[in-house]
Amino acid sequence: SESRLHLADALRAGWRVLSADGSALDAVQAAVVVLEDSPHFNAGHGAALNEASEHELDASIMDGASLAAGAVCAVRRIRNPVIAARAVLDRAQAVLLAGTAADDFAERQGLAMVQPDYFTTQRRVEALRVVQARMASGIAQQSSEAEKHGTVGAVARDIHGHLAAATSTGGFNNKPSGRVGDGPIIGAGTYAKDGACAVSCTGQGEIFIRRVAAYGL
């Protein structure tokens, strides 16, 4: 399937960085960008819609060598949120930027910006309709995990032994407006520390936040 081909493309993108003696940080970013650009995953183009039929995207990235990290949440206009997360990391003035301020930051950094409808696919429009119809009928519990989630992520170890992790997500179909899950939360959805591990999580973000899942592993 095309989704499997895009997964292979993501793996190759990361491997190209590593095989050229590049950093684990650059490798995980490269891999996640491919998945954000694919319509088949719940990140970037093809991301889930919230209860207001809008996209609010989250992403984070962490360097296991320095414990430097960057993240954005509830963004609407950044084509590749993981690149914005990396820009936050590189600037080193904050770990997490939110909402309109994060969009404005990315624009000032010269990152690729889009109109929110760039992210929308017919598949996600239909998924939102189905979930909302089930809620109206009192059978929302029948929604599958696949319909709710689909976060993307990558972890890597480079030739120098350094680790890195990155995560990007649109959240879940019909999520509350303004909801932020574990994806952009360092220690919950993303964590990397040399000599220990690199983790990128997907699943029910609220539970991952409460259990500090990425760090706890």
Residues that are catalytic = 151
Q: Which of 214, 198, 195 is nearest to 155 (CA)?
A: 198
Q: Which of 200, 206, 210, 215 is nearest to 82 (CA)?
A: 200
Residue 57 φ then ψ, to 5° = -105, 145
For CA atoms 107, 165, 125, 142, give the dihedral sign: negative
**DSSP per residue over 49-67, as a string?**
--TTS---EEEEEEETTT-
Q: How far lies 22's CA from each of 27, 83, 111, 170, in Å?
A: 7, 17, 22, 28
User: CB under 8 Å to 137, separation ≥6 — which residues?
Assistant: none
Instruction: List b or e across 42-76, with b for residues whose CB sees 16 or more CB atoms inside 10 angstroms.
Output: bbbbbbbbbbeeebbbbbbbbbbbeebbbbbbbbb
